[in-house]
Amino acid sequence: MLMMTWTQYKGSHGYKVESKKTDYAGNWIFLPAAGYRLGGSIYDTGSYGKYWSSTLDARESCSAYYLKFHVALIRCCRQSSAWSTLA
């Protein structure tokens, strides 16, 4: 079980992610809201973030998982390389 809290850390907005398990009390990571790039510009810095997992979807080997957020909305998603390419 995880607890995610919108906060500011070292001048950057983002989510502080902590485990609710007692064995991991006091351990956390910070996911900054770094924004996104479109063409040569960066948008939504301080309010949007997207982080990819190294875990592949067991049902579809060309799909991976990612976490995206925008201030008050958090989503875990799956994306297939069949309809998305990295530039």
Report pLDDT digits (tens) over 25-54: 889 999 999 999 999 999 999 999 998 888
Scan for tokens 């925008």, then name that residue.
70
Mean pLDDT score of the chain:
84
pTM: 0.75
Does residue 85 fall inside a structural domain?
A: no
Q: Is 16 part of any domain? A: yes
**Mean per-residue pLDDT for 13-18?**
93
Residue at token pair 């995880």 = 2
Domain contains 36: yes
For the beta carbon of residue 49, count every other beta carbon within 10 angstroms: 22
Q: Is residue 29 part of a domain?
A: yes
Does the pLDDT of residue 87 top 50, yes or no? no
Q: Is residue 28 in a domain? A: yes
Q: Going by C-beta distance under 8 Å and a sequence separation of 6 or more, which residues neighbour residue 51?
A: 31, 66, 67, 68
Q: Is the CB of residue 63 less than 8 Å from the CB of residue 76?
A: no
76 occurs within a structural domain: yes
Q: Which range marks the domain in which residue 30 is found?
A: 2-80
